[in-house]
């Protein structure tokens, strides 16, 4: 494929373009010096400038591994401990899949956010109701909210695209993802290292999303793509000495186990649209989740609906106000997820066939 290496002048011009505001005029000399330092890192391809020896527990303990990745790994391991802690709360994660927010261009909140808030309030109320007659560890519920609209409204927060390492060989895709941050290319502020632990710690996940052109909104789709490392990803980058394709291919051909790092988490998916695509997106997302060995929380936890069907966008919030049936479906989905999570915690929820060996793990 064609090389994308910039010349010195092109790099500096692109680097300085982010400082066009006149407020930086008196700092042009200093910014030029910073641009030259950034050029040095770029020209030398220093993706991970801060490294240390991997140490015990890795295939190659002497391999110099990125400190950024080790920090992300530690956060995931801590989250896994919270997930496995039977004395801790039942943990539920609510995800707003919409990029829309009143804090940026639309100037108006998203209907999806309103639905997330309905689900959160319902879970808080249901946790109190379901606590009657249950063991104390099942009555304790922790709710996290992941609002993906922050990628469009918050400074310096992004979910970088997946680079498709899996298509070279599964072991080249590291868990957690080691593609970012790439300091040489300025691919920083990647949010996924904060998002991975939220998924790992959760016993149940509810994703509420609108349809954008028959597909998931951009930040949601980016998150979904970047979760590929949870579906068979390699927890030991030293086994491929970073991104050495030949080593990864040899590991896969020798027999890769495709570890499902999120297996067993319960999933609820709510998709809403205004004219087309809600059913197909809901089906696609359920297939995506079950491919990772997540478990649908129940029929009531999987919902697609149309709000203000073919009505003007200008009255869509009013349409949601009037659609009490859809609101009830969202609330029931939240209750279903909580009941399933509590049943799973107590051992009453058993997925038939879950102990069978997968003949096609890829």
Which pLDDT tens digit goes with each residue over 192-249?
999 999 999 999 999 999 999 999 999 999 999 999 999 999 999 999 999 999 999 9
CA 109 from chain center: how many Å?
22
Please report the pLDDT score of residue 136 as a whole number. Answer: 52
Tell me the C-alpha distance between 262 and 191, whole Å: 18
Residue 355 makes CB contacts below 8 A (sequence gap 6+) with none
Tokens of 128: 């109190």
HSE-up of 110 (CA within 13 Å, CB side)?
Answer: 27
Alpha-helix residue ranges (DSSP H) falling in 44-110: 67-84
Tell me the C-alpha distance between 56 and 47, whole Å: 24
Tokens of 181: 């941050």
Tens digit of each residue's pLDDT (9 = 90 or more) over 80-113: 999 999 999 999 999 999 999 999 999 999 999 9
Residue 199 makes CB contacts below 8 A (sequence gap 6+) with 93, 205, 227, 230, 262, 265
- Of the chain, the end-to-end C-alpha distance in Å amounts to 27
Residue 139 CB neighbour total at 10 angstroms? 16
Domains and CATH numbers, the chain: 66-346 (3.40.50.360)
Tokens of 67: 């400190």
Whether pTM > 0.85 for this model: the answer is yes
Tell me the C-alpha distance between 158 and 188, whole Å: 8
Q: Which of 95, 126, 91 is nearest to 336 (CA)?
A: 126
Crossing angle of helices 192-201 and 67-84, in 10° steps, is: 20
Query: Is the CB of residue 149 less than 8 Å from the CB of residue 219?
Result: yes
pLDDT beneath 70, residues of the chain: 130-139
Provide the β-strand partners of residue 141. Answer: 90
Please report the pLDDT score of residue 130 as a whole number. Answer: 65
Residue 241 makes CB contacts below 8 A (sequence gap 6+) with 60, 63, 247
In this structure, the strands spanning 64-66 and 90-96 are: unpaired
Please report the pLDDT score of residue 134 as a whole number. Answer: 54
């Amino acid at each position: 494929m064609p090389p994308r290496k910039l010349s010195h002048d092109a790099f500096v011009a692109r680097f300085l373009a982010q400082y066009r505001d006149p407020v930086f005029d008196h700092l042009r000399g200093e910014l030029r010096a910073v641009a030259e330092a950034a050029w040095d890192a770029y020209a030398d391809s220093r993706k991970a400038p801060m490294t240390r020896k991997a140490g015990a527990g890795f295939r190659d303990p002497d391999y110099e591994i990125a400190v950024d990745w080790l920090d992300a790994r530690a956060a995931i391991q801590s989250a896994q401990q919270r997930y496995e802690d039977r004395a801790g709360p039942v943990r539920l994660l609510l995800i707003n899949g919409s990029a829309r927010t009143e804090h940026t261009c639309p100037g108006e909140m998203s209907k999806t956010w309103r639905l997330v808030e309905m689900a959160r309030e319902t879970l808080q109320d249901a946790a109190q109701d379901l606590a009657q007659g249950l063991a104390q560890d099942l009555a304790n519920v922790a709710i996290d909210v992941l609002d993906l609209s922050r990628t469009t409204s918050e400074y310096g927060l992004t979910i970088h695209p997946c680079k498709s390492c899996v298509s070279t060989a599964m072991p080249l895709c590291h868990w957690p993802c080691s593609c970012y941050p790439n300091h040489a290319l300025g691919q920083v502020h990647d949010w996924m290292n904060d998002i991975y632990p939220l998924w790992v710690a959760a016993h149940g996940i509810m994703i509420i999303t609108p349809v954008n052109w028959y597909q998931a909104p951009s930040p949601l789709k980016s998150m979904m793509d970047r979760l590929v490392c949870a579906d068979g990803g390699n927890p030991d980058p030293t086994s491929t000495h970073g991104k050495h394709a030949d080593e990864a291919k040899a590991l896969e051909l020798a027999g890769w186990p495709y570890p499902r790092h999120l297996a067993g988490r319960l999933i609820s998916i709510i998709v809403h649209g205004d004219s087309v695509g809600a059913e197909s997106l809901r089906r696609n997302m359920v297939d995506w989740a079950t491919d990772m060995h997540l478990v649908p929380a129940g029929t009531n936890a999987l919902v697609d609906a149309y709000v203000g069907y073919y009505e003007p966008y200008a009255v869509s919030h009013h349409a949601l106000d009037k659609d009490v049936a859809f609101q009830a479906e969202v609330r029931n989905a939240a209750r279903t997820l909580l009941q399933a999570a509590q049943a799973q915690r107590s051992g009453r929820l058993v997925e038939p066939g879950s102990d069978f060996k997968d003949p096609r793990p890829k």
